[in-house]
Structure 1
Amino acid sequence: MSPTARPFLMFQGRCAEALAFYEASVPDTRILALERKPDGTVAMARLSVAGLEVMANDSPPVHDFTFTPSLSIFLEVDESEAVDALAGALGEGGKVMMPPGDYGFAPRFAWVQDRFDVSWQIIAR
């Protein structure tokens, strides 16, 4: 039996909100499955982000850590304008770590942390 590997995002009570935000903000993204606990939080979810399947849930215990920007979702797009649009949408209410620009390794690149503390690198091919 071959193993499978997927990124896993652990939220604290905002998983469904985050997944709906990603579905609305990132082209070719959709929620594949979402199972709720009796209290309404997410027990387990699967999201397809531009072909990458991501798992997510709301952590049952409260913890004092969140996401680190050293692990990020890397989006490749065809147009420089798409970098700006995605960085603007995903970075709204979050943090811009590297604003859209030419950093020498691509015609357009941006790195943002969204309002849920998930980090996104966006690059024009």
Structure 2
Amino acid sequence: MFSGKAEEAMNFYTSVFEQSEINSVFHHEDGTVLHAVFTLKGQTFMCIDNKNGHEHPFTPAMSLLVACDTVEEIDGVFAKLSQDGQVLMPLQASSFSEKFGWVADKYGVSWQLNLAKN
């Protein structure tokens, strides 16, 4: 649930991840998103714009985990998501993956990116 930026965020996310698309968008009369469905790397997500007048910010307590397929993919996605956002854990090797990083994007959505060890 975004505060008036659902469609902007959805467009951003589908530009960051390959094999992504916007499936449907329904708007309120004022142009904000009533309901939208989009797909990132085969995973379906829904988003809306908050119309109740209260702020409900995203927190790192809930994050989206994305399994990346190549070093180039994880490096590119991490760079794009962290631009104007916040790096919560730098992209680096770990005991469980070739590369792992955690970032909150410019909308406040938290992402954990993983490139599994072969």
TM-score by length of 1: 0.88
- Indicate the residue corresponding to 1:7 in structure 2: none
Instruction: State the one-letter code of the partner of 2:93.
Output: D
1:36 aligns with 2:36: no
1:56 aligns with 2:47: yes
Pairwise CA RMSD: 1.0
Whole-angstrom CA distance in 2 between matches of 1:118 and 1:55: 14
The 5 A counterparts of 1:1-125 are 10-125=1-116
Whole-angstrom CA distance in 1 between matches of 2:43 and 2:67: 12
Shift of 1:95: 0.5
Whole-angstrom CA distance in 1 between matches of 2:53 and 2:109: 18
The percentage of aligned residue pairs carrying the same residue is 33
Matched position secondary structure for 1:31: strand
Say if 2:5 and 2:49, in contact at 8 Å, map to a contact too. yes
Matched position secondary structure for 1:68: coil
User: Which consecutive aligned stretches of 4+ in structure 1 deviate over 2 angstroms post-superposition?
Assistant: none
Shift of 1:81: 2.5
Matched position secondary structure for 1:112: strand
Shift of 1:62: 2.2
Q: Relative to structure 2, which stretch is displaced further, 56-65 or 112-121?
A: 56-65
TM-score by length of 2: 0.93
Structure 1 residue ranges without an equivalent (≥5): 1-9
Structure 2 residue ranges without an equivalent (≥5): none
Deviations 1:25-64 (A, max 9, x none): 1111111000111111000000111111111100111223
Shift of 1:104: 1.8
Whole-angstrom CA distance in 1 between matches of 2:36 and 2:3: 14
Instruction: State the one-letter code of the partner of 1:13.
Output: G
